[in-house]
Amino acid sequence: MNLENLSENRCFGGWHKQYQHHSGVLNCAMRFAIFLPPQVASGQQVPVLYWLSGLTCTDENFMQKAGAQRIAAELGVAIVAPDTSPRGEDIANDEAYDLGQGAGFYVNATQAPWNSHYRMYDYIVDELPALIETHFPVNQQRAIAGHSMGGHGAMMIALRNPERYRSMSAFSPICNPINCPWGEKAFTAYLGDNRDTWAPYDTTVLLPNAQQPVVGLVDQGEADSFLATELNTDVLEGVVAQTGYPLEVRRQAGYDHSYYFIASFIEDHLRFHAQHLAA
Amino acid sequence: MNLENLSENRCFGGWHKQYQHHSGVLNCAMRFAIFLPPQVASGQQVPVLYWLSGLTCTDENFMQKAGAQRIAAELGVAIVAPDTSPRGEDIANDEAYDLGQGAGFYVNATQAPWNSHYRMYDYIVDELPALIETHFPVNQQRAIAGHSMGGHGAMMIALRNPERYRSMSAFSPICNPINCPWGEKAFTAYLGDNRDTWAPYDTTVLLPNAQQPVVGLVDQGEADSFLATELNTDVLEGVVAQTGYPLEVRRQAGYDHSYYFIASFIEDHLRFHAQHLAA
């Protein structure tokens, strides 16, 4: 397994590091970032929060803008931020910001030309955690969170793999991708026209059928310009209310879709995850 | 006075806003960002920290990456982040990252072609605070801080205008620009070959002659790749030791020149400034 260290920054007494590796699942080189809290210096194995970013993002957006390292350092939690799609000159792409590179939607594509590389679901669920747990001082207590497309990814993946995650959370998630323009465009391209194949990637479809719940927290800004058209937060609130699923959905007055929103509430999310990671 | 609001984000209960205005001093349109803490909503006039960024930066780097708003919101301090030079297609520039647009060095240029726009000293000392104090709910209690080129700017400006600032601080400042490659290149271009004209822009020259001290705090990472060649921290430490000037210079083991360093210690700087702004 090749694992190349690309950068390293001391940060809040811990370390922010970027790595590149060859992904067998995605069939290309992939970059990710990891924050290791100061506790690892004393030989401690720490739990891991996986952060899935939104459209157009790389491993860098969350690490640079969310201000999460301060609290992760205090709580002794590692954070892993993968890229949002396979990347490279030889990888299928689209000129639009919401399809192709930077827009993997955390699914396993079945349609050409996407199906030769776009398998972000398997990458996030299996390959990346195996890599992290082999090469870094972490234990197998995992949490998963994300923003927008990554909020969809985090909840969908936790709902399908409840044995793998202690908790899940999301900012501004695409709650019901099979019924919004972003999701319909991406799922048509990656999965084809048969909507039956889309349902296993939709949080609001998965949640009412969940056998083993994963506790969750969602924050949604009420001034989010994508709220009315893309996010379908009300559909998520509806299935949570119907089922009693242990997911708290909070609406935050005045906040938008940006990292200024994430930064404002990331402390709540990290403390929420740490509480369940320690349980 | 035209003042155009370009963006607005709720952040930690306050507001991050970007504005554009015509600068008479710089003779071009300029953008700046302001963070207004929640206290202004109740009619309170708050003190202001001016943040001067480093080479290649705009108003956005600090606001997006430093995580300062959390503490500023708690303390009730506004933050103003100007751009680092005049900008525009008609403005003199250079292909290098360390001269021209994005590299104003906070001086008033005397040499062509720079002297028609590059007057960042006057912009930061006079024009921008006058604008801020006219249009925003702030009082005249000011502090000034910055990073690298902006750390030079912040200390140099505070030392020359002690009546205007309660406190000053810097991360990784260019302490002695007249004796390092970045400073010599920029000062030769902007100020000409006569080094006597450079001295009024050098912290280590100004500090021993200061009549009215401005309390200060400096953080310098010991793994900073620019420390040996550009920053001359030892020269600053020497004049502070000689004079007893109330400036604390801290060296932080393992930290580099990046915003991961700034984010790790910005809370100390904000609390330091707030203490003197309230005094």
Catalytic residue among A16, A224, A273, A276: A224
Which residue type sits at A208? P
CB-count exposure of residue A88 (10 Å: 0-12, 13-18, 19+): middle
CATH classification of the domain holding B225: 3.40.50.1820
Q: Which two tokens stand for residue B221?
A: 């990472």
The catalytically annotated residue of B23, B85, B148, B167 is B148
Residue B258 sits at the chain A interface (C-beta within 8 Å):
yes
Q: Which run of H or of E encompasses B218?
A: strand B215-221
- pLDDT confidence tier of residue A11, bands split at 50, 70 and 90: very high
Residue B191's domain comprises 3-278
Distance in angstroms between the alpha carbons of the first and the last residue of chain B: 33
Cross-strand bridge partners of residue A7: A18
A23 to A2, A27, A35, A128, A156: CA distances (angstroms): 10, 5, 20, 9, 22
Q: Contact B86/B26 with Cβ under 8 angstroms?
A: yes
Distances (CA, A) of A200 to A37, A107, A121, A242, B180: 35, 9, 11, 20, 60
pLDDT value for B183 = 98
| Cα A176 from Cα B183, distance rounded (Å) | 55
B243 contacts chain A (CB < 8 A): no
In this predicted model, what pLDDT tens digit does every residue of A191-200 receive, in sequence order? 999 999 999 9
Q: Is the peptide bond before A181 cis (omega within 30 degrees of 0)?
A: no
d(CA A90, CA A92): 7
Give the strand pairing for B46-52 and B138-147. Answer: parallel
Tens-digit pLDDT profile for residues A100-147? 999 999 999 999 999 999 999 999 999 999 999 999 999 999 999 999
pLDDT-derived band at A2, boundaries 50, 70, 90: confident
- Closest chain A residue by Cα to residue B253: A10
Closest CA to A142 of A124, A120, A116, A156: A124
Give the DSSP letter of residue B227.
I
Report how far residue B82's alpha carbon sits from residue A22's, in angstroms, rounded to the nearest whole number.
42
**Phi and psi torsions of A88, nearest 5°:** 140, 160
Per-residue pLDDT of chain B (279 residues; tens, 9 = 90+): 589 999 999 999 999 999 999 999 999 999 999 999 999 999 999 999 999 999 999 999 999 999 999 999 999 999 999 999 999 999 999 999 999 999 999 999 999 999 999 999 999 999 999 999 999 999 999 999 999 999 999 999 999 999 999 999 999 999 999 999 999 999 999 999 999 999 999 999 999 999 999 999 999 999 999 999 999 999 999 999 999 999 999 999 999 999 999 999 999 999 999 999 987
Helices marked H in chain B: 60-65, 69-75, 120-122, 128-135, 149-160, 181-191, 203-206, 233-243, 259-278
Of A67, A260, A264, the CB nearest to B263: A67
pLDDT per position as a tens digit, A20-55: 999 999 999 999 999 999 999 999 999 999 999 999
Say which of A13, A16, A263 has its CB closest to residue B67: A263
Put simply, whether B161 touches A (Cβ < 8 Å) is no
pLDDT band at A278 (very low <50, low <70, confident <90, very high): confident
Bond prior to B113 in cis (omega within 30° of 0): yes
Pairwise CB contact (< 8 Å): B258 & A9? yes
Q: Which of A148, A167, A169, A172 is catalytic?
A: A148
CB B63 within 8 A of CB B9: no
Is A264 catalytic? The answer is no
Q: Are A14 and A36 in contact (CB under 8 A)?
A: yes
Interface of B with A in 74-133 (CB under 8 A): none
**Is the CB of residue A203 less than 8 Å from the CB of residue A143?**
no
Domains held by chain A: number: 1
Q: What is the dihedral of CA A158, B260, A74, A271, to 10 degrees?
A: -30
The two beta strands, B46-52 and B78-82, are parallel
Provide the pLDDT for residue B194.
Answer: 98
Q: Are A31 and A84 in contact (CB under 8 A)?
A: no
What is the model's pLDDT at position A1? 55
